[in-house]
Chain A
Amino acid sequence: MCGPADYTALHTMMLRVLLLSGAGLAGYTLWGTARLLKNLLGKKRTRIPDNP
């Protein structure tokens, strides 16, 4: 009723899930690093003193 077992397909699925998760994590890390660098290297705010 439920079809034959195919452990090769199961291993392929696990590998692909790991691959996509790794790619997603790498992309998220790169995106976060890019945001961090953009903030660090971006235009600096100049503080205006209250009582010049």
Chain B
Amino acid sequence: MTKLVLKAAGLGALGGAVFVFLFPKGAITTLMHEVLHLPGPGAGIAAVLGPFLLILSLLFYRRAGGPMVVALAFSVVVALLAALVSAMNPKGMFSTIWLVLACAVCSLGVDGTLILARRLKPVWRLVLAGVAGNLVLLIFYWLVIFPQSAGWVLWGDVPILLALCVVFGILAGLIAWLVSRAILKYIGSGEEVDDVRTR
């Protein structure tokens, strides 16, 4: 159990460091609003932060609380690195406790969906959890974080951002399923592989 928690925390921390390295200040905003001309605020959360966090956390979908550990480690590392090197856009408030709260709420949505959908096949569980987690994260940002930093989202922009959020949630769930299946095939025990194939 301790080993599993350490593994989940390590993966989350590594993912947080990679996230800060990959997306320098202003890159996500420029990509979403200037290049892709998507409305905002929220497009970067729905299409970048949410899927990135969900793919990492859903790799631990087989243990209750695993996604929560990954999400907390991820958010703490991102918040610390963003505060230390001021590497992230202030609009997302990445260097504050709000990011940790947002990731915690998102992982509650993920864990809850995984528990409610425990009788489904793994691929559907992960897709549902991906969509639920992404929606929870986006709505938390819209209601709690963006009003402090970027303003309220316009009603007219809500449908397209929700659709974007659902599509990227589905993609995150599918990618997490493919990656976890590949990992179990190579390094997991036979019992775990059978478990994934049959459930």
Contacts and interface: CB of A to CB of B under 8 A. Distances in A.
A1 B41 contact: yes
Nearest to A31: B186
Contacts of B115: none
Given A1-B151, A2-B150, A7 B30 contact: yes
Given A2-B41, A16-B24, 4 more contacts: A1-B151, A2-B150, A3-B91, A16-B21
A10 B89 CA distance: 13
A15 to B, nearest CB: 10
A7 B30 CA distance: 7
A5 B18 contact: no
Interface string B79-101: 00000000001010000000000
Interface of A: 1-7, 9-10, 12-13, 16-17, 20
Contacts, number: 55
A9 B22 contact: no
13 contacts: A1-B41, A1-B151, A2-B33, A2-B41, A3-B26, A3-B29, A3-B33, A3-B91, A5-B29, A5-B30, A5-B33, A9-B30, A16-B24
Contacts of A2: 29, 32-33, 40-41, 91, 150
Nearest to A3: B29
A10 B27 contact: yes
B25 interface: yes
A9 to B, nearest CB: 4
B34 interface: yes
B30 A12 contact: no
Contacts of B26: 3-6, 9-10
B87 to A, nearest CB: 10
B35 interface: yes
A10 to B, nearest CB: 5
A13 B91 CA distance: 18
